[in-house]
Each structure stands twice: as structure tokens, then as C-alpha cells.
Chains A and B, each alone.
Chain A
Amino acid sequence: SAVISQKPSRDICQRGTSLTIQCQVDSQVTMMFWYRQQPGQSLTLIATANQGSEATYESGFVIDKFPISRPNLTFSTLTVSNMSPEDSSIYLCSAQIGMNTEAFFGQGTRLTVV
């Protein structure tokens, strides 16, 4: 299994600013992902964080808005840039030890943009 620490756990941010969310895994993992979960809804995959290379973004998400870093096998960051109230959501980091294995999730970051 993997234990994931995500921070901050919540934040209230001003419109137009950026927030960087950190995700630390207690062991090396093959795959790391970032999801968004809007209130009362399911998880939407933002991107796959690739170690040592650019992230792979899903349709509707772009690097300029959601830059992602993954410098090693245990750490990743997601930045929400130039925020607007529509970005208010829960952002979740997840990790998989291997392809098609279960995903382990961080506690999530509850972001409110005012």
C-alpha cells in the first residue's frame, strides 16, 4: 500500500492568484494522478503526472492552467493558476504502485476561490 500526504488540506484564495498543492507518497510509485472533484460530483481526471517529463493532460485541461511537476517517484505538485470561482473544488492526488492496481488517495485539498 501507499500513504499519501497532501497539503494544504484547504485554502481560500483570491481570484487571479495561483495555488500549488503538494503530494508526497511514502514509497516509490509508478503512477501518480491528479483529480478534481466538484461538490457532489464524481472524480474527473486532470492529468497523469509523469516522472521526469511533462504531464499527460485529459481533454479539457491544459498545462498553462494546471502545471504539474513530478521530480521523482514519490512527489508531485499541481498548481491551479489564475484562479476563478469556477476552480473551487476538491483536488485529489492519487498514486498507483503499478498499472491497473488500486489507487491510493490523499486527503484532498478543498479550494475556495473568492
Chain B
Amino acid sequence: AQKVTQAQTEISVVEKEDVTLDCVYETRDTTYYLFWYKQPPSGELVFLIRRNSFDEQNEISGRYSWNFQKSTSSFNFTITASQVVDSAVYFCALSAPNTNAGKSTFGDGTTLTVKP
């Protein structure tokens, strides 16, 4: 079975601090896909990144960066120089074709609050 664990339920930082959101996953598949989504107070989930299990390169997009490590089954998300607009719930998700027909399993989410 697939499982995604986001151990941090809530994180609070002051603007301009860096913050890392942790994500640990479990799957028996050798091919799988990892995702991060942002859910601002408006409620709509916004896709941030997709990573496949064969690509362990870290990725940077502006203030966002992702660290994928298969050895520890982790896919952590770092926001550099956080801003108030980053306040949201962030979900990590896993999709594995053989286990779950492409459907995504979501973690419980981490609520990030960035204070001015």
C-alpha cells in the first residue's frame, strides 16, 4: 500500500525566514511519481511540482526548491525568504501506476503560517 507522511502539522515562521516542509513516502513500486500542492485559504489546490522516481535531481523554481532522496524516501520542499502569501496548507502526494492505477495518495498536509 502507498503512504505519505507529513510529520509537521503546523509551522509558523516570520517573513524572510527559510522553511522546509518534510515529506516521507512508502511504496512498493519502482516507478512512482511525487507531487506537491498548495492550498491557500481560498480552497483550491494548486499544483507546484511533479517528480518521477528516476529523476533525483533537485529542482529550484524561484524561491521554491525540492530535495528528492530515494535512499530516505523523502521529498522535502523548501521555501526561501518566505512571504506572507506563502501562508497555506501544503500537501505532498504519491502516485504509483501498479499499486493505484495512477490515483494519488495525499499526506495530511502541513499548515504554514508566515507572519509579517
Contacts and interface: CB of A to CB of B under 8 A. Distances in A.
Q: Do A and B bind each other?
A: yes
B50 A33 contact: no
A96 B43 CA distance: 19
A54 B91 CA distance: 29
A66 interface: no
Interface string B60-78: 0000000000000000000
Given A31-B102, A99-B97, A99-B101, A43 B43 contact: no
Contacts of A100: 33, 52, 95-97, 102
Interface residues of B, number: 24
Contacts of B104: 45, 103
Given A42-B107, A42-B108, A105 B91 contact: no
Given A48-B103, A99-B101, A100-B95, A108 B44 contact: yes
Report the interface size class on chain A: 20 to 34
Contact of A107 (B44, B93, B101): B44
**In this complex, which of A33, A43, A98, A100 has the most chain B Cβ atoms within 10 angstroms of its Cβ?**
A100
A53 interface: no
A-B pairs, top 4 by smallest CB distance, nearest first, are: A99-B102, A105-B45, A108-B43, A42-B108
Contacts, number: 53
A99 B95 CA distance: 9
Contacts of A103: 35, 37, 45, 47, 93, 104
Contacts of A98: 102
A102 B43 contact: no
B101 A106 contact: no
Contacts of A106: 44
B106 interface: yes
B30 interface: no
B108 A107 contact: no
Contacts of A110: 43
Interface in A75-114: 90, 92, 94, 96, 98-108, 110
B50 A102 contact: yes
B44 A43 contact: no
A42 B47 contact: no
B105 to A, nearest CB: 8
